[in-house]
Amino acid sequence: MRHPHLFGIETEYGLLYHDPKDPYAAERLVHRVRDHLFETRRVGLLDLHHRAHDEPPGNGGFLLNGGRFYIDMGHIEYATPECTRLSEIVAYDRAGDVLLQEALQKMGLSEDASFIKNNIDYETGATFGAHENYLVSRDFPFTQEGLGRLVPFLVTRQIFTGTGRLGANFVPEGFISLGDEEFPEIPFQISQRADHIVTDFYQWVQFSRSIINTRDEPLADPGRYRRIHLLLGDSNLCEYATALKVGTTALVLDLIHEGYAPDLPILDPVIALKVISRDPTRHWEIRLENGNPITALDIQRAYLEAAKKHLAGQDEDTDWTIQAWEATLNDLAEDNIDALVGRIDWASKLWLLQGFMEAEKLEWNDPWLKSLDLEYHNINPECGLYFDLENEEKIIRRTTTEAVAQAVKIPPGETRAAGRAFLIRKLMDMPTPYIINWTSFQLGENGLSMIDPFKTYLKEAKQFFEE
């Protein structure tokens, strides 16, 4: 029996801002933007309580759209509300971009500062994340065997989820390719996060970036649910890629839960991530544990065929995902970059960079290209190269501009985000101590538990203020 989907995305944004008189200008601006959003724009309510040792009161808060803004290790981070449909997750993901860009504009800083939706800092080599969250039932096989069926899919999905980057991050000595050769120096690779993943499973995000984070923090009824928390993905600009990333991953989780997922254990998944990302031929060949060679496309097709056989026809999102998955793999097999522009980020970026290099007669090592790489991820529509593609109608949309505008201030209507947003709106003008979490609400001595994410809690929230 198919379980309903529920998912969310957390995005950490980079910031380009420099003041020669203030070495901490960027860090100060992050706090100013937060204060502008919550105190001037009043897009939500700041926390009044400690959420963790590194999240003091006022560090962030929940929004009128049911999502959340907060500061995490110097970065602005935005978490979407809980979504049940692909069109929703795309719209609410982009809503965070809109809120941040509008803040810079209202503060008069849009020409001096830029928020960058990417995952690497070329100056320091640091990385920042785009985390995905998928709710599964508590009886999901959260075991070495069950999660082992997920790893090959995650390692190889970067061929359509990667956003691309120039060059490569330092790879520690001893990390060699599966052909027993050192990793080559390459001008361009398809994933930004692949170089920064160091293990397959790990519990704590702060200490080791893993393919699958194994902490048990469901943010829902722990007797019924578990949350799959993924760290390895890139921050996508293309709506098609975002929908395909979330849609395919959700279907693979369904396949694992129902016992239909392929069994294709990869030899050293962490190295395979890097081999695939760095392969300039885009043949993407790796090895299975038994030593046999296999390509990323072969692995993806195995999962696709299982989804077609066991999941097709269940709903509109499932059928769109299967169709888009197959079409994308076909174009990747043909190395048809032109057909992938506007759908897949790394291909769109590569197409732009190659066109610019040809026009300006540049080589891959020209520093100009790093600036263009960053500008692809600039969320300012006046500057971002992604928006040039959108203006040229090369982008395949999965939502609308109107839907994104609505997602900035209105929550999804079929999850507990609806009740949370109602409570926030009611409290906007009430000078009363409150505590708001993903799973609960507290006002004085009265509380409301919201541990079922598929329930809106609107009735309970309204009654809360009527009593």
Catalytic residues: 72
Task: For the beta carbon of residue 392, count every other beta carbon within 10 angstroms.
Answer: 10
Q: 8: closest CA among 73, 62, 70, 88?
A: 88
Q: 11: closest CA among 81, 58, 80?
A: 80
Instruction: Round to whole Å and give the CA distance between 244 and 313.
Output: 17
Instruction: Round to whole Å and give the CA distance between 75 and 232.
Output: 18
Largest CA distance in the chain: 71
- Looking at residue 437, its amino acid is N
Helices 368-376 and 345-360 sit at what angle, rounded to 10 degrees? 150
Q: 228: closest CA among 8, 452, 457?
A: 8
Query: Contact 313/319 with Cβ under 8 angstroms?
Result: yes
Instruction: Round to whole Å and give the CA distance between 420 and 125.
Output: 38
- Tokens representing 47 are 């926390």
End-to-end CA distance of the chain: 40
Q: What is the DSSP letter of 258?
A: H
CA distances from 159 to 340, 374, 381, 413 (A): 11, 20, 26, 33
Residues 6+ apart with CB under 8 A from 391: none
Q: What is the DSSP letter of 19?
A: B
- Tokens representing 175 are 């990390």
The helix/strand count (H/E) of the chain reads as 16, 17
- Dihedral angle computed from the Cα positions of residues 385, 389, 391 and 396, in that order, rounded to the nearest 10 degrees: -130
Element (H, E) at 28: helix 25-35
Is the C-alpha dihedral spanning 78, 191, 355, 344 positive or negative? Answer: negative
Instruction: Round to whole Å and give the CA distance between 152 and 264.
Output: 7
Question: What secondary structure does DSSP assign to 396-415, as a single string?
Answer: --SS-HHHHHHHHHS--SSS
